[in-house]
Structure 1
Amino acid sequence: MKDAFGTPQSLLILGGTSEIALATATRLATRRTHKIWLAGRPSPALEKAAEHLRAQGADARTIPFDALDAESHPTALGPLFEENEIDMVLLAFGILGDQAKDEDNPLAAVRVAQTNYTGAVSAGLICARALQTQGHGSLVVLSSVAGERARRANFIYGSSKAGLDAFAQGLGDALHGTGVHVMVVRPGFVRSKMTAGLEEAPMATTPEAVAEAIETGLRRRSETVWVPGALRVVMSALRHVPRPVFRRLPV
């Protein structure tokens, strides 16, 4: 169960090598989150992430999970919920893709969509049902401001995040009143390995800043978190810019 300050004592991360997820887990591990599962494809990076969290005093374990293999999700996640109470699930897997190349390679574009959206729908529903059965818990979904309005520069990624965001909001409405809290997190440009080499967008942030916002959102039981917060106003304005004007903006 969460403590009096809303800090989860147990955490499941779907996408165990995500820099934002690891920053969040590290931050929470210094509080009272002592049991952490990192779900992802078996790899040295996944094991290294678990070792890092153990060094912070957490009981960190890895479990095999493939976002693209939806048929395996019940088997991968079901037993974990049957044997443990999990206070928080952080859905953090996703890929950026390469817009320029993916436009000429439909299969690569589909992989972005399947990872970011259909894989999340499958895993999200399984976790939501399990949290509802136990009667409590938070499902935190990493979305993106890219999903607020598709841009020419990354509409494949942006459209997948738009679908994920809408799904998570609807899921939150469906679970309202059940004891399960769904929180959608919309970061802007995050300085990370995924964005290395890309031109930095205005109001860029860090995994650590997103982690802090997630912790604050959990405490407040927020439904939507923008990182940084000023993006809420910026994206609200951009959403309503006429399309002919939007096409000419350097975004």
Structure 2
Amino acid sequence: MKNALGSVDSVLLLGGRSEIGLAVVERLVRDGARRVVLAARGDAAAIGVRLKDLGAEVLVLDFDAERPETHERVVAAAAEFAGDLDVVVAAFGVLGDQAAYEADPVSAARSMAVNLGGHVSAGLFAARRLREQGHGTLVVLSSVAGVRVRRVNFVYGAAKAGLDGFAQGLGDALHGSGARVMVVRPGFVIGRMTAGMRPAPMATTPEAVADAVAGGLRAGAETVWVPGRLRAVFTVMRALPRAVWRRVPR
């Protein structure tokens, strides 16, 4: 059954171990979602316990971003369990270290395969399902790191730039189908992935990202910045000459 705008009953999380992704799903469950599929690499049976305690039915599926040939089966299995997928959250990825990537370019290419290539495959299969349903939202966790790529993390930023462009193009391709894409651009998120790093200005939290996603779903937004004032900041940053941009503090 097609839900009204903002009403979410079923959720598929691609990247079931993602701290941000799980915060988003928990928020949606608290708002009424009752069927949740967590697609995660390896044994992840324990990650759905909290969601079950909140009243959700939870299915955990094995998901490997580096094996695109398996992604169609993951989406199909999720739909078999949950029926129509109201929201698909694509939240998987690795941050990595720029110096390590430069020392080992093979590892850099592998991270790109996860952060961009995996999203292309999983996103297209999810979009096909949503188009067939005639409704649903693919939420793509992008980053301000991809809005303008910085030298201090350009491998990660380049992947996010590619992902952001892919997600926008996919959203345009879905226009008129009833399905849509919402691109989420958080700034620095304080959590497991960034543990030990100095927080950037206007740092946020997984819970704040979750609140913004829930609000964006209700509003039918195409793009969500977290926090919202980063939109204005990056409007200026996009216009900076490259000679100035290179000197932007880490």
Sequence identity of aligned pairs in percent? Answer: 54
Query: Conserved in 2, the CA contact under 8 Å of 1:2 and 1:8?
Result: no
User: Quick one: which amino acid aligns to residue 203 of structure 1?
Assistant: M
Q: Counterpart in 1 of 2:126?
A: 127
Aligned-residue offset at 1:3: 4.7
Q: Counterpart in 2 of 1:75?
A: 73
Q: Which 5+ residue runs of structure 1 have no aligned equivalent?
A: none
| Whole-angstrom CA distance in 2 between matches of 1:143 and 1:208 | 16
| Whole-angstrom CA distance in 2 between matches of 1:237 and 1:2 | 40
Aligned-residue offset at 1:122: 0.2
Alignment of 1:224 with 2:220, yes or no, is no
Q: Give the CA RMSD over aligned residues.
A: 1.3
Query: Conserved in 1, the CA contact under 8 Å of 2:137 and 2:180?
Result: yes
Q: TM-score, normalised by structure 2?
A: 0.96
SS of the equivalent of 1:71 reads helix
Q: Counterpart in 2 of 1:155?
A: 154
User: Quick one: which amino acid aligns to residue 28 of structure 1?
Assistant: L
Q: Which of 56, 59, 67 matches 2:57?
A: 59
User: Quick one: which amino acid aligns to residue 61 of structure 2?
Assistant: I
User: Quick one: which amino acid aligns to residue 58 of structure 1?
Assistant: A
Query: Conserved in 1, the CA contact under 8 Å of 2:29 and 2:54?
Result: yes
| Whole-angstrom CA distance in 2 between matches of 1:2 and 1:247 | 48
Alignment of 1:108 with 2:107, yes or no, is yes
Aligned residues: 249
Alignment of 1:205 with 2:207, yes or no, is no
Per-residue deviation, residues 152-186 of structure 1 (Å, max 9, x unmatched): 11000000000000000000000011000210000
Query: Conserved in 2, the CA contact under 8 Å of 1:141 and 1:183?
Result: yes
Aligned-residue offset at 1:138: 0.6
Query: Conserved in 1, the CA contact under 8 Å of 2:12 and 2:78?
Result: no
Aligned-residue offset at 1:118: 0.5
User: Quick one: which amino acid aligns to residue 216 of structure 1?
Assistant: G
User: Quick one: which amino acid aligns to residue 168 of structure 2?
Assistant: Q
| Whole-angstrom CA distance in 1 between matches of 2:245 and 2:22 | 35
User: Quick one: which amino acid aligns to residue 27 of structure 1?
Assistant: R
SS of the equivalent of 1:126 reads helix
